[in-house]
Structure 1
Amino acid sequence: MSTPTRTHIFVTGATGGLRSIAGYIGGSVVSALLSHPKSDTFHITALIRSPEKVALFNSVGVTAVVGNNSDLDTLTSLASTADVVLACANADDLYAARAIFLGLKKRHEETNTVPIFIHTSGTGVLIDDAAGNYATDSIYSDLDIATIESLPKTQPHREVELEVIAADKEGYVRTYIILPSTIYGIANTPLVSLGVQNPYSRQIPRLIEASLDRKQGGVVGEGLNLWPNVHIDDTATLYISVFDAAMKGPGGTAHGREGYYFGENGEHRVGEISEILAKLLYDMKRGKSPEPTVFTIEEMQKYFGGRWMGSNSRAMAERARLIGWNPVHTVDSLWASLKPEIEAILERRNT
């Protein structure tokens, strides 16, 4: 009986700190790969920051290499042996992306195959300057490439996206861009249980942390801006849907210029999150009023450091659904996730 050909998969961002989205997505993706029906044909390598986690990753069949996105030679080396690279670390790290592409180009030249690169971006690329004061009518579809291409290079994540698309155009790699929206929910994966994955998102926890710090739930402007949302479990299945489609070959699904895949299953008014959090914090005696108060300009800079919290970002994951992605968590799951997020943050503050 012949041994099946193994697919070499290299994942960045499998671990990360509580202040980073890294690890939250990447760890969930690695866990999904480990439970994939074809997992026995995968050889998974993960770049991790902590030497003490190497043995734990090895215990579940993942080869762990210590390093980070700044170790450009390591990125190039690991990519040069990979059939598939899943970049789940920093969406804005242009140098890391270029280092990985050097490795993938070497892979192509040595094997005459075309490896796969799945890049993590985000619907933050769509943001405007609403400052919480209005909802936009502009809704982007991942099928409407012309409109996406109208986005200026100065938008968040856009510079790296353009590099990813250019690499595909050169022909030595097939690239796919996944753009999650507001990811929510505390991850509950085997890697979380093992103690090697960050289980927490960033956007909503930062809003909670800010509200706790100022002892009052806060809102940006009038809280009228809109964002899509997606549960962390549905995010992981999106990566697997794109991975499976890409593994079918060049005709499996769109790549390169057209290879955009939004992650959303509904949208919310951002101010409603603030309103629910303010009420919860008040009931928990952590806020002075059940109604959120407006963040000052100084607080906006202190807690968020940018415009994204007050922006609009509206997206429809039409291409993602066409390839079979079927998210199951609706916006009701978002509302239900808020109290557990507060409790988790309070627990961490007390330990």
Structure 2
Amino acid sequence: MSLNVLITGASGYIGGSIVAEFLSLKRGGTLETLVIHAAVRSPEQAHSLKKLDVNVVQLNLSDETAVTEYLLSNDIDLIINNATSIDPRIASSLISGLQKQREATEKEVFFVQTTGLSAFDENTNWPFGEVKDTDNVYDLEKRSRETYVVREVDAINFNLWECADLKRDGRGSGTWNQLSPQIPALIQASIKHKQVYKFGENRLNNQSGAQDATLAHVSDVAKFYGQLIEAIFLGRELPAGENGHYFLVSHVVSWWDIMDRLAANLHARGLVTTAATKVWPSDEMAAESVGVPSRFAHSMWNSSPKVLCEKGSIIGWKPVWTGESFLDSLGQEIDDFLELGLPKSSLLSSLKPVSGHGMN
């Protein structure tokens, strides 16, 4: 069996790590007939991928005609969309194009949307409390879609296949953007103020059950996608459609623990004046410091979604990283930021309002 996969956001933090994982599986012979198509936005991003065994395309993903033409002309079977979780136009364009591919070829096709656990946090008006990925997550998101754009985009995807929800940390293995902007934005703000700030409440998602968590290291996330595509390649039956959410979470870490460890590491490097943290004087100051509208500051840097990961075991996913190993890695996160700077990512800028869509 051959499989043609299109990875959007292929030069990004998650997308680039998925590309690297898939290439590793190809080289190892597990998926030697896999053909990887990598969609990027700029010539610079395309250049960063040109030496890899991938077909690079600079594609406007909101142009449904161009997307459909590319899918049909390259016989794409599977899309993994990492481009955005807040622009419904892109999700709709990709899904519509893939549906036309299915109609034209009568082959089975697959759509995987990478989204975020902020959709299940009370800071974004999630009204249903704790949720498992074995619940009917689509129905719950549909009922609250108008209060948060991530849920609106998730709801678009239900009638096609999978939807992987995650928070992630660590250094990626892609060629262009190797860092998530989340921790680097905090580091940059702390260095600017010579002080590490935190939000006033210590929100810890510490529900019952060993699988309950708030983070997953990017290397564990990439491994999940590798195991997922192997299962699809082998023709295994997987939960999909309305049952297609997979919560990629692996460890529990409180934000105060993160900020305390960052403060200690930054102070040891002489980058802040004290190892003690302070509470942000206002949400507006916090939002301005990390570069997002104020309504997104809590969902990005003080979230505690009450979620349980139960489906990962279906494909044999066993995360390697733990909460303590993540905290121990924050010194390396600082070194990575000092080396690479704030990621070349559109995530933070994309958190600005999308015209016509509720983002309360």
Decide whether the 8 Å contact of 1:267 with 1:314 is kept in 2: no
Q: Which residue of 2 aligns with 1:93?
A: 87
Q: Which residue of 1 aligns with 2:314?
A: 322
Shift of 1:197: 2.5
Shift of 1:146: 5.8
Q: Which residue of 2 aligns with 1:30?
A: 19
Q: Which residue of 2 aligns with 1:274?
A: 259
Shift of 1:156: 4.5
Change (3 A) 1:275 1:14: same
Q: Which residue of 1 aligns with 2:37?
A: 45
Q: Which residue of 2 aligns with 1:19?
A: none
Decide whether the 8 Å contact of 1:124 with 1:156 is kept in 2: no
TM-score for the superposition, normalised by structure 1:
0.83
Unmatched 5+ residue regions in structure 1?
Answer: 16-22, 169-174
Q: How does 1:130-145 map to 2 (within 5 A)?
A: 138-145=129-136
Pick one of 115, 123, 146 that aligns with 2:109. Answer: 115
Q: Alpha-carbon deviations, 1:90-140, whole Å to 9, x = none? A: 012211111112211111111111210111111111111399xxxx99432
**Cα RMSD, aligned residues only:** 2.5
Shift of 1:34: 0.9
Pick one of 166, 178, 188 that aligns with 1:180. Answer: 166
Unmatched 5+ residue regions in structure 2?
Answer: 206-212, 343-360
Decide whether the 8 Å contact of 2:132 with 2:308 is kept in 1: yes
Cα distance in 2, alignment partners of residues 347 and 13 from structure 1: 22
Q: Alpha-carbon deviations, 1:198-225, whole Å to 9, x = none? A: 1101222222122112110110113334
Q: Which residue of 1 aligns with 2:287?
A: 301
Change (3 A) 1:137 1:113: closer
Change (3 A) 1:6 1:242: closer
Q: Which residue of 1 aligns with 2:8?
A: 12
SS of structure 1 residue aligned to 2:250 = coil
Change (3 A) 1:208 1:233: same
Letter in 1 for 2:335: E
Are 2:214 and 1:235 equivalent residues in the alignment? Answer: no
Shift of 1:232: 0.7
Shift of 1:52: 4.5
TM-score for the superposition, normalised by structure 2:
0.82
Letter in 2 for 1:102: S
Shift of 1:149: 1.7
Shift of 1:58: 4.1
Decide whether the 8 Å contact of 2:165 with 2:246 is kept in 1: yes
SS of structure 1 residue aligned to 2:271 = coil
Change (3 A) 1:72 1:130: closer
Are 2:240 and 1:261 equivalent residues in the alignment? Answer: no
Equivalenced residues, count: 320
Shift of 1:247: 3.5
Letter in 1 for 2:171: I
Shift of 1:66: 1.4
Pick one of 177, 180, 183 that aligns with 1:198. Answer: 177
Decide whether the 8 Å contact of 1:130 with 1:225 is kept in 2: no
Larger CA deviation: 330-339 vs 147-156: 147-156
Cα distance in 1, alignment partners of residues 4 and 58 from structure 2: 18
Q: Alpha-carbon deviations, 1:293-324, whole Å to 9, x = none? A: 11122212212431312232132221112321
Pick one of 33, 58, 75 that aligns with 1:66. Answer: 58
Are 2:157 and 1:164 equivalent residues in the alignment? Answer: yes
Cα distance in 2, alignment partners of residues 146 and 261 from structure 1: 10
Larger CA deviation: 234-243 vs 31-40: 31-40
Shift of 1:148: 6.5
Cα distance in 1, alignment partners of residues 338 and 41 from structure 2: 26
Shift of 1:53: 5.0
**% same residue:** 28
Cα distance in 2, alignment partners of residues 100 and 127 from structure 1: 27
Larger CA deviation: 306-315 vs 136-145: 136-145
Decide whether the 8 Å contact of 1:275 with 1:292 is kept in 2: yes
Q: How does 1:281-296 map to 2 (within 5 A)?
A: 281-296=266-281
Change (3 A) 1:258 1:235: same
